[in-house]
């Protein structure tokens, strides 16, 4: 891997986009390497992922403008599809993904963060969808995920104006869950990942699928999705151990992902 560093830390993994000289901007190579990295995650052992960027200045500053500047219409659509396919894989990845946003998260950087389940950021983080100032639309899901996360009116204002926002405003509008100092960001991301990883893996995965799938449909269909995933937890070892431990007033010995 040229631009992606992956480290497994026990029951969680850390993916770092490492193209620091370009502020971790996304080009075709980064996207392909990220796709391959996700495919290689050991889901038998890893129960949560953290996605971050190398250095202190930037999470992901955006897509690579130099690469995009000469694209034809067909090539632009194809580039958008590459990004959308990888981001959708991230969004629907079986285990939770935490975005630890350290600095700039602009354009494709904001879009990849929105593909993660949980977003936390450092106090120097800057978010935005500045594409209209470059003569294009957001192309990696920004027009779709941003209104779903912060509401249609706020999303339209951000996208139409191309204005960037700082960490505190991102927190206020619900784009991120928590703001930390730069020094506190990764320790807290890892603490959260470890907390998630301690819970029953089948249950956590089913929760993610229930939320993601249910949000795309009406309530009547959504509760059926939940019922099936709820039922799917029963008769697993982890369900038996979790409930037996509760009844017996003891701590769970171990969740075994089976």
Active site residues: 111, 131
Query: Residue 124 belongs to what H/E stretch?
Result: none
Local structure of 22: helix, strand or coil? helix
Give how far Cα 96 sits from Cα of 13, 91, 115, 209, Å: 11, 9, 11, 10
User: If we measure between CA atoms, which residue out of 77, 69, 83 comes closest to residue 32?
Assistant: 83
**In the numeric block, which tokens belong to residue 20?**
């620091």
With vertex at residue 248, the alpha carbon angle to CA 245 and CA 251, rounded to the nearest 5 degrees, is: 40
Q: Give the 3-state secondary structure percentages of the chain, helix then strand then coil, rounded to 5.
A: 50, 15, 30
């Amino acid at each position: 891997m040229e631009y992606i560093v992956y480290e497994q830390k026990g029951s969680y993994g850390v993916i770092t986009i490492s193209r620091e000289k370009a502020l971790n901007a996304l080009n075709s190579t980064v996207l392909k390497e990220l796709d391959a990295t996700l495919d290689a995650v050991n889901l038998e052992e890893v129960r949560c992922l953290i996605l971050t960027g190398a250095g202190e200045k930037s999470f992901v500053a955006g897509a690579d403008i130099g690469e995009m500047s000469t694209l034809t219409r067909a090539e632009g659509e194809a580039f958008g599809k590459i990004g959308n396919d990888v981001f959708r894989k991230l969004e629907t990845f079986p285990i939770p993904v935490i975005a630890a946003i350290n600095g700039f998260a602009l354009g494709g950087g904001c879009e990849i963060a929105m593909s993660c389940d949980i977003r936390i950021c450092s106090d120097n983080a800057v978010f935005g969808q500045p594409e209209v100032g470059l003569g294009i639309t957001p192309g990696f899901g920004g027009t779709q995920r941003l209104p779903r996360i912060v509401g249609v009116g706020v999303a339209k204002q951000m996208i139409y104006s191309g204005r960037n926002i700082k960490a505190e405003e991102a927190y206020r509008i619900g784009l991120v869950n928590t703001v930390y100092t730069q020094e506190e960001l990764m320790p807290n991301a890892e603490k959260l990942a470890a907390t998630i990883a301690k819970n029953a893996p089948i249950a956590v995965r089913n929760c993610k699928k229930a939320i993601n799938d249910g949000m795309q449909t009406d309530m009547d269909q959504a509760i059926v999705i939940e019922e099936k995933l709820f039922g799917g937890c029963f008769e697993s070892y982890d369900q038996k151990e979790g409930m037996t431990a509760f009844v017996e007033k003891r701590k769970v010995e171990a969740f075994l992902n089976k």
